[in-house]
Amino acid sequence: MKQKIETNKSPKAVGPYSQAIINGNLIFTSGQIHLTPDGKLLEGTIEEQTHQIMKNLKNVLEKAGVTFNEVVKTTIYVTDMSDYGKINEVYGSYMAEPYPARETVCVKELPLGAKVEISMIAINGVVK
């Protein structure tokens, strides 16, 4: 049975989607862009924007009862591959070995003019 995850420590879903869904022992996060919890797009460097995304994901995962350690799959969308190295450095500072499987996809645009979006799949050892 699906369970909706929602926290006010990350931006609210602004459409017909959830911040995350738990189904069995799997947690699926929606893609997070560099919105602050009050729903404003964070300006600044790509590093600052990536930190904001990772904080948003951390809060959603914690609400679901897991941490980055339980993440098994990540998808990163970027609008400019020249930002890849900086995004990768920030992302890597939150993750530990064994790193999740991951793909990075360059796209033409992201919602609200964001430059990067990240989603994750995690496994909770306790079946809910």
Residues 26-39: tens digit of each pLDDT: 999 999 999 999 99
Q: Which band of pLDDT confidence, cut at 50, 70 and 90, is reported for residue 128? A: very low
Tokens encoding 34: 């560099």
Percent of the chain with pLDDT over 70: 98
Residue 15: which pLDDT band, with cuts at 50, 70 and 90? confident
Q: Work out the widest C-alpha separation in the chain, in whole angstroms.
A: 41
**What mean pLDDT is predicted for residues 50-67?**
97
Going from the C-alpha of 126 to that of each of 7, 22, 27, 60, the distances in angstroms are: 21, 12, 12, 17
d(CA 76, CA 87): 9
Give yes or no for a contact between 116 and 46, defined as CB atoms under 8 angstroms apart: yes
**CA–CA dist 36, 21 (Å, integer):** 21
Residue ranges and CATH numbers for the domains of the chain are 2-123 (3.30.1330.40)
Q: Mean pLDDT over all residues of the chain?
A: 95
Query: What is the b/e burial string over 79-107, where b = at least 16 CB atoms within 10 angstroms of the residue's CB?
Result: eeeebeeebeebbeebeeeeebebebeee
pTM of structure:
0.94
What secondary structure, in 3-state letters, does 23-78 show?
Answer: ECCEEEECCECCECCCCCECCCCHHHHHHHHHHHHHHHHHHCCCCHHHEEEEEEEE
Q: What is the pLDDT of residues 94-105, one digit of tens each?
A: 999 999 999 999
Match 């990163």 to its residue by tokens.
Answer: 76
